[in-house]
Structure 1
Amino acid sequence: MTGHVLTARLDSVGDVLVTGPAVRAVAARAERVTFLAGPRGRAAAELLPGVDRVLEFQAGWVDFDPPPVTATAIERLRSSIAALAVDEALIFTSFHQSPLPLALVLRTAGVGRICAISTDYPGSLLDVRHRPDEDLPEPVRAVSLARAAGYPATDTSLRVRPDLPDARTLAGEPGYVVVHPGAAVPARRPSPRRSASIVAALRRAGHRVLVTGGPEERELTATVAGEVAEDLGGATDLPMLAAVLRDARVVVAPNTGAAHLAAAVGTPVVSLFAPVVPALRWAPHGVPTVVLGDQAAPCAGSRARACPMPGHPCLDGIADEAVVAAVAKLAAVERTALDRDGLAERTA
């Protein structure tokens, strides 16, 4: 057994969720696991099985709205980690992020063994420098780091803690379709007009539709729900959103945390996926999924935050009929044995 292990992922909800399989592998051999998360990902870290404690830090080299990197902030993080007496750390990152700034802080905090994926020369900052094939699904990529660090893992399915709230208090009886129209990056979400049209088409097809979103998305969800769907914008924290998604037959969402949360509770996903990042890496993992959107659009691989193409064709060009057909296809698929086992655990 390893002693106290720190696992770190400093970005958003979906980014944290896709590290879940690797964290479970670490937890299987560690006496204690602390997860270092950014403010956007903290709630997701608190849902991960195997995590004993969550520490929060907003990293100026990772966050979408980076704060100044100050000596005071770095010293506060260093002293917090030093006080935890961490034996080992695994730093999880996306391919375009460097683990080395955090590795430097961890090294000065006395962490004896540090493991990360790094294309840059790490000098003495890393004890395990892992360089995997980058064209892997993000959960598989994270698990590959855990394996390189000495934590065997074969299960790459996403999971959350079983003690979710009862979604029926908010969403009613299970069996609905959830449409989650928002995403933090504008290029990754359809226009409100297109999302509203999709909702209306699903209603005409006979589905009961719930529209979900965060507190800052209430105007968006109200527009998308209109008079035909139930608007849950701002009504859920992350555990309740997970429960609502768990009880859905299918979730329709762009490339955003809710899509990965749906995968973590075993619900099939119609992924409205803008190709600014590769679907191979970032599509929902481990559940039946239909990816819609022009993956060969000119913006493919650009990592653009705002769509560079007039009319946002890769997403707004998706026909209502294509979404309705994808929902029908996934609703007809029996949930996998993996999900049935997970569902039994989640509702225990």
Structure 2
Amino acid sequence: MTRVLVARQDNLGDVLLAGPCVRAVAAHASHVTLLTGPHGRAAGELLPGVDEVLTWRAPWIDPEPPPVTAADTGAFVELARAKRFDRALILTSFHQSPLPLALLLRQAGVPWIGAISEDYPGSLLDLRHRVDGDPPEPERMLSLAEAVGFRLPPDDHGALALRRPLPDTTRLTGGGPYVVVHPAASVPARQPSAAWSHRLVRTLVADGHRVLVTGAPAERHLTRGVAGTSAVDLGGRTTLPELAAVLSGARVVVAPNTGPAHLAAAAGTPVVSLFAPVVPSARWAPYGVPTVVLGDQHAPCRDSRARVCPVPGHPCLETIDPADVCRAVTALLQPGVATPSPL
């Protein structure tokens, strides 16, 4: 019996991108526990290979971090100790450190811990893995599992994936083919304006597409304005599994660099990615499905990780011509554009 903890504690999209790594671990372990933060738990519950999801808000990762208290960290250490993990793999983005979590897991008695780390880990890590270059984030995380000896089975396509079956959402989508526009992003710098997104919807409809607009409950005002009278507004009307089903049924999804773009990729749906270059598209663009990346990837905000656009007018996204989005959608609908088969 090998009980393995895999940790990825940030956002929904980051957890989805960990999917290939999780499946590689699951192919060799008897039990896989996924540790997420509160923003990623729902995504973790959709990942194949996960037996259990634990959630803990890490003060060094969460965007609205709680105070560090002995009671909170002590409770987490005791929870981890009770699980009796044999190994732990800590997955982090390049700007996050795995070492605080490694310290807590050592205190919990985890005998073997591996992570990607540029910092000297002392006795906190048994495997200090390093990654050359700037590979896509799923490949970067998968390389840690491979360094341990956990490889994907030969019949695993290595793309993102979701647990199947997904819910029946016909009552939401209606009959016939459709394109999804998801206008919101978790970071404002990565999101086009409501006016631009509304113009995009009208252009897609004029081009002959039936359009569904999706969003979270807090984004209902945005989705209502973007949909207008031209599209179906599903803002706030889906759980995450239902959103996955809606995206799975779409012919193409149009979305900024945000979790639902990765959810669409995990569902096997082609994506037109409206990508603000505050992070590199080579690393964070939708993975494993046919994708067209639009947006000025050489804009002044490039690689700044800005949360709010530092350039007046948000030109990297606002200057995208909606007609170019229509052309990208048409290109992705051409025969021979293949997507991975569901696992």
TM-score tier by shorter-chain length is over 0.9
- Matched residue type, 1:163: P
Counterpart of 1:64? 63
Counterpart of 1:235? 237
Counterpart of 1:159? 161
Q: For the residues of structure 1 that align with 2:121 and 2:316, how far apart are their CA atoms? A: 38
TM-score by length of 2: 0.97
| SS of residue paired to 1:30 | coil
Deviations 1:118-154 (A, max 9, x none): 0110000000000102400000001101111221237
Q: Quote the offset at 1:72 in angstroms.
A: 1.0
Contact map agreement 2:3 2:31 (CA 8 A) in 1? yes
Contact map agreement 1:260 1:284 (CA 8 A) in 2? yes
Tell whether 2:73 aligns with 1:80. no
Counterpart of 2:21? 22
Q: For the residues of structure 1 that align with 2:67 and 2:133, how far apart are their CA atoms? A: 30
Aligned residue pairs: how many?
340
Q: Quote the offset at 1:334 in angstroms.
A: 3.7
Q: Quote the offset at 1:66 in angstroms.
A: 1.1
User: 259, 262, 265: which is aligned to 1:260?
Assistant: 262
Which runs of no fewer than 5 residues in structure 1 stay unpaired? none
Q: Quote the offset at 1:12 in angstroms.
A: 0.6
Shift in CA distance, 15/184, structure 1 to aligned 2, threshold 3 Å: same
Tell whether 2:10 aligns with 1:11. yes
Contact map agreement 1:174 1:247 (CA 8 A) in 2? no
| SS of residue paired to 1:233 | coil
Contact map agreement 1:168 1:174 (CA 8 A) in 2? no
Tell whether 2:326 aligns with 1:327. no
Q: Quote the offset at 1:167 in angstroms.
A: 1.9
Counterpart of 2:141? 142
Q: For the residues of structure 2 that align with 1:236 and 1:124, how far apart are their CA atoms? A: 45
- Matched residue type, 1:34: T
Contact map agreement 2:19 2:160 (CA 8 A) in 1? yes
TM-score by length of 1: 0.96
Identity of aligned residues (%): 61
Q: For the residues of structure 1 that align with 2:177 and 2:57, how far apart are their CA atoms? A: 38
Counterpart of 1:304? 306
Counterpart of 1:204? 206
Counterpart of 2:182? 180
Deviations 1:53-97 (A, max 9, x none): 000001110011111111111011111111111110000010000
| SS of residue paired to 1:129 | strand
Q: For the residues of structure 2 that align with 1:146 and 1:174, how far apart are their CA atoms? A: 41
Q: For the residues of structure 1 that align with 2:63 and 2:174, how far apart are their CA atoms? A: 35
CA RMSD in angstroms, aligned pairs only: 1.1
Q: For the residues of structure 2 that align with 1:20 and 1:169, how far apart are their CA atoms? A: 29
User: 300, 316, 319: which is aligned to 1:317?
Assistant: 319
Tell whether 2:99 aligns with 1:97. no
Moved segments of 4+, more than 3 Å: none
Counterpart of 1:106? 105
| SS of residue paired to 1:311 | coil
Tell whether 2:218 aligns with 1:216. yes
Which range is displaced more, 151-160 or 105-114?
151-160
Which range is displaced more, 125-134 or 26-35?
125-134
Which range is displaced more, 172-181 or 36-45?
172-181
Contact map agreement 2:27 2:151 (CA 8 A) in 1? no
- Matched residue type, 1:141: R
Contact map agreement 1:203 1:209 (CA 8 A) in 2? yes
Deviations 1:222-242 (A, max 9, x none): 111011100000011110000
Which runs of no fewer than 5 residues in structure 2 stay unpaired? none
Q: For the residues of structure 1 that align with 2:297 and 2:242, how far apart are their CA atoms? A: 32
Shift in CA distance, 225/31, structure 1 to aligned 2, threshold 3 Å: same
